[in-house]
Structure 1
Amino acid sequence: MDPESDTPADQKNGGGVLALLERIGSVVVPIAVALYAVLYIGVEQMYAVFGVNPQQVGVDQSVLLGRMTSTLILLLLVAIPLLGVLVGLGWLIDRMTGGAAGRLFLRVRERPWIAATIAALWCGATYWGVFNLFGELDLFVMVTIAVGLGAAAFLIPFRLLRRKPVGRAGMKVITGGLTGIGLGFLLILGLVQGAIEVQETGQANDLLSYVGFQDQWTVLKSADDDKPLYDGRWMMLLGESDGTYVLYDCDRLETFRRPMETTNLGSIQLDPERQDGFTCGDLATQDTPSQSDSE
């Protein structure tokens, strides 16, 4: 065995189905757990664009659990065929090179410094989504962050962890967890941007629907005489909680609440079609707020 190799000889050829499942789980589980935790933050940030939190629109912990689980299932359905394509591509390259690609991969994997460097750079790159929350980064800055953070914070610890099997397992958990967090923050950016688009254009994208955000619009009517309120304009129904509707007025760019006992929901539309170039805010410059419109 190569003196620099960290991989025991009895592990080079695998260990059967259970060993394969264990290896897959050691990578997939940390990614899924970290991604789930960060997605919860993403949902909070999405509703924060409208000035409310999930609890105020009736999205409690049980609802969030269901939404996050369905989101993870959708991501898994996308990841499985993608992983299969990558494995097939790797197999094809290995065949085309007469096994040289596979041998090169094993040699790289067995070199502790090379494996630690690759993992460190990858972990550094996962922070790109975090830093992007504070401002847009160009490619040069992103690469600088990945290299600098990876070399300073992860390279030496990962090299030390690769000395023992438990250390290598720990490195997989750390790498998988940071990968999930990095993907989660990228999703947060997408959710926040999608919520801003709803606020500005009155139309939600597919990403928001995947996390359970309903692009639902309604005409409000008075419970006393069933006459339309707010000149019969369409309002986005963000949710309801504690006997109160939480709505977004696209024309005035305002989020407001109305008691359910004095409000009836008239016509309801899901994902309404918008004209090209439609934007919200036509009445935003008027002095009279929508909450004070006559019933």
Structure 2
Amino acid sequence: MGHDHSLDQDAPESNGSSMGLRDAIQSVVTVLGLLGVVLTAVEYWAVDRYLAQFGVTPEEAGLDTTVLLIRVATVLVVFGVLFIPAVMFWPGVLALGVEGGLRQRVAHRVARALRRPASRTSLLSAAVGFCWVLMSLVEGAAHVLAEGTWVIVWLSGFLLSVPVLHLAGKSKRMGAVLRACIVALFITAFALWTVGDVMEERGARAARDGRLGFLEYALGIRTQYVRADFVDTDGLAPREEEPMLYLGQSGGVYILFDCAASEVVRRPAAQVQLTSGVGEEGDRLAAEVVRSCARRE
């Protein structure tokens, strides 16, 4: 009886393919976990630098590490649901632009090329440079893009990470983990430097002029314009209804900033009633806060 050797030849290839897919998914999960830690650290640092300009800590404003971690985890879960299927089928996705029978061969060649350590090192280093460019945009997109600064930033990230990632890739057992940690380290260091400086500047501007921006809201800082109506209580100086900046709350205590007096007001929620506006009413309230800052002596 004849024996069909084709089945024997296909089995190892199928097993290797399944192992490669499993390793790829494990790597993605590891990277997402490290990314969660990195993003939480960067977000906490940015929030801390912003609120420090008012003399307030993130915990006082209700933005401790647990709250920030939950927000980051939610984003990463959504990202993972979209990204992991893309990793599973990325050779075919990259070959979508190729017509006919060439599609399968192109997908196979792309997958084979990225199995090489040099290709993976180049791809990861390019990703580091790309992340550096994205984070540098918070300092001003016009400056970074118009003057060609993004090229210098991308090359810096690429060239600095290439030798380190190359050395880490020589470890057969821990290479993938080491590379993921190195990428996270490079991104974290640059983010702490860039985002921290930007948020410190924005916090100082908000405390000085009462002007808020979108980046603060995107990072989870819920500063808003409010009108505070205080209740007279024993032991506390009476205050009139005033336009203020609401910085947050924790433990039933509102944290407000009186721009006219340049002071932080901490009052229990039961002793102050806050109202905010939308549309034209919100614009009028914002203008009142800005004018109160201008009256500061």
TM-score by length of 2: 0.67
Does 1:223 pair with 2:233? yes
Query: Contact conserved, 1:31 with 1:179, CA < 8 A, in 2?
Result: no
> Counterparts in 2 of 1:130-209, with a 5 A limit?
137-139=143-145, 140-151=148-159, 153-165=160-172, 166-179=174-187, 208=217
Of the structure 1 ranges 113-122 and 172-181, higher mean CA displacement relative to structure 2 is found in 172-181
d(CA) in 2 for partners of 1:89, 1:173: 23
Alignment of 1:226-241 (within 5 A): 229-230=239-240, 232-239=241-248
Q: 2:28 maps to which residue?
A: 24
Q: 1:46 to 1:78 in 2, by over 3 A?
A: farther
The alignment status of 1:213 with 2:217, answered yes or no, reads no
What does residue 110 of structure 1 align with?
A: 115
The match for 1:39 among 28, 40, 43 is: 43
Worse-superposed segment, 213-222 or 138-147? 213-222
Alpha-carbon shift at residue 37 of structure 1 (Å): 1.6
Report if the CA contact (8 A) 1:35-1:183 is conserved: no
Residue 271 to residue 64, structure 1, CA distance change in 2 (3 Å): farther
Does structure 2 conserve the Cα–Cα contact (< 8 Å) formed by 1:26 and 1:173?
no
Q: What is the deviation of 1:21?
A: 4.3
CA distance 1:108–1:270, change in 2 (3 Å): farther
> Root-mean-square deviation (CA), in Å?
4.5
Are the counterparts in 2 of residues 195 and 204 from structure 1 also a CA contact under 8 Å? no
5+ residue gaps, structure 2? 1-12
Is 2:132–2:190's contact at 8 Å kept on the other side of the alignment? yes
Match of 2:74 in 1: 74
Q: What CA distance in whole angstroms lies between the structure 1 residues aligned with 2:113 and 2:180?
A: 16
Q: Distance in 2 between matches of 1:212 and 1:172?
A: 29
- The question of whether the paired residues in 2 share the 8 Å contact of 1:215 and 1:271 is answered with no
Cα deviation, 1:146-173, whole Å, max 9, x if unaligned, reads 213422x222232233334222431133
Matches of 2:296 and 2:97 in 1, distance apart? 71
Structure-2 residue corresponding to 1:6: none
Separation in structure 1 between the aligned mates of residue 205 and residue 91 of structure 2, nearest angstrom:
39
Runs of 5+ consecutive residues of structure 1 not aligned to the other structure:
1-8, 289-295
Contact 1:123–1:175 (8 Å) recurs in 2: yes
Q: Which amino acid aligns with 1:221?
A: V
User: How far apart in 1 are the matches of 2:94 and 2:218?
Assistant: 38
Question: Which deviates further from its counterpart, 11-20 or 64-73?
Answer: 11-20
- Tell me the distance in 2 between the aligned counterparts of 1:196 and 1:287: 15
Q: Distance in 2 between matches of 1:284 and 1:219?
A: 19
1:283 is aligned to 2:288: no
Higher relative contact order (CA 8 A, sep 6+): 1
Q: Distance in 2 between matches of 1:243 and 1:113?
A: 55
Corresponding letter in the other structure for 1:64: D
Q: Sort the Cα spacing of 1:184 and 1:58 in 2 relative to 1 into closer, same or farther, 3 A.
A: same
Secondary structure at the aligned position of 1:13 is classed as helix
In structure 2, the CA distance between the partners of 1:197 and 1:100, relative to structure 1 (3 Å rule), is farther
Structure with the higher helix share, 1 or 2: 2
> Once the two structures are superposed, what CA deviation does each residue of 1:207-227 show, in whole Å capped at 9, x if it has no partner?
637736364733123225999
Structure-to-structure mapping, 1:254-269, within 5 angstroms = 254-257=262-265, 264-265=271-272, 267-269=273-275
- In the alignment, the residues of structure 2 paired with residue 207 and residue 264 of structure 1 have an alpha-carbon distance, to the nearest angstrom, of 27
Cα gap change, 1:29 to 1:74, in 2 (>3 Å)? closer
Number of aligned pairs? 271
